Each structure stands twice: as C-alpha cells, then as structure tokens.
Amino acid sequence: MTDALLDVRDLSIHFRSGAREVQVTRKVSFTIAPGEVVGLVGESGCGKTVTGLALMGLLPRGRSRVTGNIFLGGEDFAAMSPRQMRRVRGRRISMIFQEPMSALDPVFTIGEQISETLRAHRDVSVGEARARAIEALTQVGIPEPELRYDAYPHQLSGGMRQRAMIAIALVCEPQLLIADEPTTALDVTVQAQIVEVLGGLCARLGMAMLFITHDLGLVAETCSRLVTMYAGEVVEEGHIDDVLVRPRHPYSSGLLRSLPALAQRKATLPAIPGRVPTVAEMPAGCRFRPRCAHARSVCEDPQSLVDSGNGHVRCCRQEELVLPGALRGEVAA
Ligand SMILES: Nc1ncnc2c1ncn2[C@@H]1O[C@H](COP(=O)(O)OP(=O)(O)OP(=O)(O)O)[C@@H](O)[C@H]1O
Ligand code: SF4
Ligand SMILES: [Mg+2]
C-alpha cells in the first residue's frame, strides 16, 4: 500500500466478442497523489479512455474483463460490489467526457441534473441541492447561474455545456476527477478557459485530476506529472519538467518533437512514422519497435517498466539514449 490517492497496479483490460477476446491494455500501473494533476497522453487507440472507464467501473459488463488492482484511498475496487461501486462513482471519483452533449440528458435542465447527482450521493434537501447546484455553476464560471439552472443543454453553447458537465462532476466534491479530452470539441479560446477552470478547481478544492489529452501543450500548463501510453502499455512516467526537457522513451520524445509550437520554428514537423499497431499486428518485444529509429535486436525482448531515476520507463536503451524533448517555455508559449 502507498500514500497515493489512486494506485493502479497491473491493470489489464480485455474485450470479448463472441468466443474471441482481445487485450487492449497490458499491466498499466501508475499512481496519483492527493490533489495531484497527472496528464495521460498517447495517440488514438492507445487505451486512455478505456483506462479511465475502468477506474470508474464503467466498462460494459459481460463484454469486458479487467484484471489487476485499483486502490482509491487504500480501498480495492476489485473487492467492491456493483452497489458499492455506484456509491464511489460520483461521490469520490467523477469523470467528464469529450462531448458533453452526449453525456447530458436533453430532457432535464442543467440545474436538475446537478441537483439530482448531489441528492443521489448526499443526504440533502431539495432546497439545499438547488443552492449547491447554483454554487457549482458559479464555481465553473457560468454567468447568471440562477437563470442557467433552468436552462436545457441545447440552450447552452458548447463551452457552457462543458462547464455544466464539470459542475455535475464536482458537485459531490470528489477526491479524483478524470477529465477525458474535455476540450477537444471546443475552439481554442474556450479550450483555454476550460483548462483554467479545471486547474483552478483542483487547486481550490484540493481535488486530484487525471487529465487525458492528445495535447501536450495543455499538459505542460496544467499537470505536474505525465504518463505516456503506447499500444495499451505505459511506456513512460515522470515529473513533467523532466519529461519535457529529457524524455527517456523514444515515443515520448517523438510526441514532444511533433508539437506544433516547435514546428513553427522548424521547416517541417517531425512526425512519428507509421501508426499504432492493432491488436492483431502487435509486435513481440517492444511494441514501439517498428516505429523506433533506435531499435536494435535487444528490443525484440519483452520490455518492462523500470525505474529511470526520475520516474519509470519501458525501454532497455534508456540509459544510453539522449533524446530531444521540448523546453517548457516553448510548449507553454
Ligand atoms: N467497447 C469496446 N469494445 C471493444 N474494443 C474497444 C471498446 N472500447 C475501446 N475498444 C478498443 O480499445 C482500444 C483502446 O481504445 P481507447 O478508446 O481507450 O483509446 P484512446 O487512447 O482513448 O484513443 P482516442 O485518443 O482516440 O480517444 C482501441 O483499440 C479500441 O478499439
Ligand atoms: S526498447 Fe528499443 S525499440 Fe523500444 S523504444 Fe527502446 S530503443 Fe526503441
Ligand atoms: Mg479516448
């Protein structure tokens, strides 16, 4: 057991389709301390969302199989009944999704949805729930919160809907918020506002956050630690300042080098060649090997996540390689 708020150990997720079963994450391990904001990055299909859904106990029942352990405040999710898990969800751990319109219920007002979430988890009166919902709308920066309480989701802009989703997620004051690409569907100015709201709330409420995103620039602004996933595995984990300046895994280095902020200063954008392998194409040994410029025969052996001094890395050549990163100033610019 550790002092971590969240301790994920060897989390493997499998999906079933008929008699066939595919493994989409393999032995994913990471921790989040109380109040800590951790970024989870990786290309499309790497397993970020399924990891978030597993933490929430929201993977489709009967069609998925999860192994490994998830401890929240020392309590093991695997030992919980679905009823106990429902109590944890929303109350101690909440999730916001990329597209708020599909997560909000179109037939209830924003205020009703926030109040109902609160009343499902806390013993509060209708009047108290209304007051707390208006307070939550205020906290996420929604103007005229009393009026917005009675608005339906379709009456709000995309940015306001995402703020309303955040209000629902935080009204029970969870210890951990999972934010899955919360700004991707929004324009750049609104993105910046939402990220500011989330960062401010974490600091004010002492809430920890797992920030899932493709955008390393946003991670640099908001997170203190970074977890990089590739093809269902964690390949690097470390303090943001260390990883940005000196990534230890060639995949993290590739992601950092393909940042648009750096591209403005260079003639061409150094993209990572190839694409994430499908389950059927998964190479033996290092899963990044077909795309890695530093691959050697030793990389054909299975790679484990080992201590790198400042974090953990899954690359047998990590000590000999000096890989380019992105200076923090350039990323945040
Ligand atoms: N319900 C499901 N049934 C079967 N396979 C699934 C299911 N949900 C996700 N997967 C598979 O799991 C893998 C990981 O998907 P996931 O959605 O977690 O990726 P991601 O890293 O969140 O990608 P993106 O950046 O595009 O959101 C993918 O190969 C995906 O096809
Ligand atoms: S183990 Fe080898 S192939 Fe994999 S990332 Fe490291 S150097 Fe590249
Ligand atoms: Mg996703």
* Ligand 2 binding pocket includes 313 (Cβ within 6 Å): no
Q: Say yes or no: 232 and 193 in one domain.
A: no
Q: Which residue has the higher pLDDT, 38 or 79?
A: 38
pLDDT in tens, 298-318: 999 999 999 998 899 999 999
Q: Say yes or no: 208 and 294 in one domain.
A: no
Q: Say yes or no: 139 and 164 in one domain.
A: yes
Give percent above pLDDT 70 in the chain: 94
Residue 323 located in a structural domain: no
Q: Say yes or no: 87 and 180 in one domain.
A: yes
Residue 324 located in a structural domain: no
Residue 1 located in a structural domain: no
Q: Say yes or no: 238 and 204 in one domain.
A: no
Residue 50 pLDDT: 96
Residue 108 located in a structural domain: yes
Residue nearest atom 6 of ligand 2, based on CA coordinates: 315
Highest mean pLDDT, choosing among 64-78, 183-197, 269-283? 64-78
Ligand 2 centroid, distance to 285 Cα (angstroms): 9
CATH at residue 106:
3.40.50.300
* Ligand 2 binding pocket includes 314 (Cβ within 6 Å): no
Q: Say yes or no: 208 and 232 in one domain.
A: no
Ligand 3 centroid, distance to 156 Cα (angstroms): 24
pLDDT of residue 333 exceeding 50, the answer is no
Residue 216 located in a structural domain: yes
pLDDT in tens, 245-271: 999 999 999 999 877 654 455 556 678
Cβ atoms within 10 Å, residue 175: 20
Q: Say yes or no: 45 and 22 in one domain.
A: yes
Final residue of a structural domain among 223, 248, 272: 223
Q: Say yes or no: 167 and 284 in one domain.
A: no
Q: Say yes or no: 151 and 282 in one domain.
A: no
What mean pLDDT is predicted for residues 20-27?
95
Q: Do residues 88 and 80 touch, judged by C-beta distance below 8 A?
A: yes
pLDDT in tens, 177-215: 999 998 887 788 888 888 888 999 899 889 999 999 988
Per the structure, how many domains does the chain have? 2
Q: Say yes or no: 207 and 309 in one domain.
A: no
Full domain range(s) for residue 264? 228-313
Ligand 1 atom nearest 98 alpha carbon: 27
pLDDT in tens, 76-114: 987 888 888 888 888 899 999 877 777 899 999 999 999
Ligand 2 centroid, distance to 315 Cα (angstroms): 5
Which residue among 11, 12, 40, 48 has the greatest number of ligand 1 atoms within 8 angstroms of its CB, and so is best to mutate?
48
What mean pLDDT is predicted for residues 281-306?
96
Residue 262 pLDDT: 45
Final residue of a structural domain among 201, 223, 245: 223
Q: Say yes or no: 131 and 270 in one domain.
A: no
Residue 178 located in a structural domain: yes
3-state secondary structure 179-245: EECCCCCCCHHHHHHHHHHHHHHHHHHCCEEEEECCCHHHHHHHCCEEEEEECCEEEEEEEHHHHHH
Residue 69 phi, psi (nearest 5):
-130, 145
Residue 270 located in a structural domain: yes
Task: Quote the tokens at residue 124.
Answer: 């509060």
Final residue of a structural domain among 223, 243, 274: 223
Q: Say yes or no: 232 and 143 in one domain.
A: no
Residue 171 located in a structural domain: yes
Cβ atoms within 10 Å, residue 103: 18
* Ligand 1 binding pocket includes 191 (Cβ within 6 Å): no
